[in-house]
Amino acid sequence: MMHYTGSVEVVAGSMFSGKTEELIRRIRRATIARQKVQVFKPIIDNRYQVEKVTSHSGTDFDAVPIEKIHDLLGLLESDTTVVGIDEAQFFDEEIVQITAMLANRGVRVIVAGLDTDFRGEPFGSMPVLMAQAERVDKLQAICMVCGESACRTQRLVNGKPARYDDPIIIVGASEMYEARCRKHHEVPRD
């Protein structure tokens, strides 16, 4: 019997930093190593294909869309050794307990998500996942204003920065969001 050491890995960063691309890279490496992999994503992530995780560059991998993170448990196959979860910031706080439980069972859990929202504030359960993970990689994008490294996600409404009081969750891609550095990230308040 093969023995796997469970762990939680988090790939975090702003939009367009390559989080999903890195998740897919790790998942593909696991499949090459003949490990049983299952990938899950929130059903609200409908930017590309429903049953795939897809990077902005078009790289994709089959995934199961779920409404709540708890749904993953009923869909998990007994021989799965690697679980990928994309867009983790959209799941409720139960994701922390479920990823820990899977890791304690010997499953390698790879989670990708935004660490901050468009306001630049911690997003959902990502900060707790990052604190409890064995491995955290924080990726950076390129600022669309100056070309420097970008760690923030700028939401745009009609080409202007979204206001602080706007809704936190609006699913979109390059038509609504761009990467920005600290200097060029703007969140106007009333």
Average pLDDT, the chain: 91
pLDDT digits (tens, 9 = 90+) for 153-184: 999 998 899 999 998 887 766 678 999 999 99
Binding site feature residues for Zn(2+): 143, 146, 181, 184
Q: Please check whether residue 137 is in contact with residue 12, taking contact to mean a CB–CB distance below 8 angstroms.
A: yes
Q: State yes or no: pLDDT of 1 exceeds 50.
A: no
Q: Two tokens at 84? A: 């990928």
Binding site feature residues for substrate: 169-172, 177
Q: Who has greater pLDDT, 172 or 34?
A: 34
- Rounded distance between C-alpha atoms, residue 141 and residue 147, angstroms: 9
**Integer CA distances (angstroms), 18 to 13, 22, 24, 56, 58, in order:** 8, 6, 10, 8, 11
Output the pTM of the full model. Answer: 0.91
Rounded to the nearest 10°, the torsion over CA 24, 84, 68, 136 is -100
Q: State yes or no: pLDDT of 4 exceeds 80.
A: no
- Rounded distance between C-alpha atoms, residue 12 and residue 5, angstroms: 22
Instruction: Give the residue numbers marked as catalytic.
Output: 87
Q: Please check whether residue 179 is in contact with residue 150, taking contact to mean a CB–CB distance below 8 angstroms.
A: yes
Classify domain 7-140 at the CATH topology level. Rossmann fold (3.40.50)
Q: What is the residue extent of each domain of the chain?
A: 7-140
Residue among 44, 52, 50, 54 nearest 19 (CA): 54
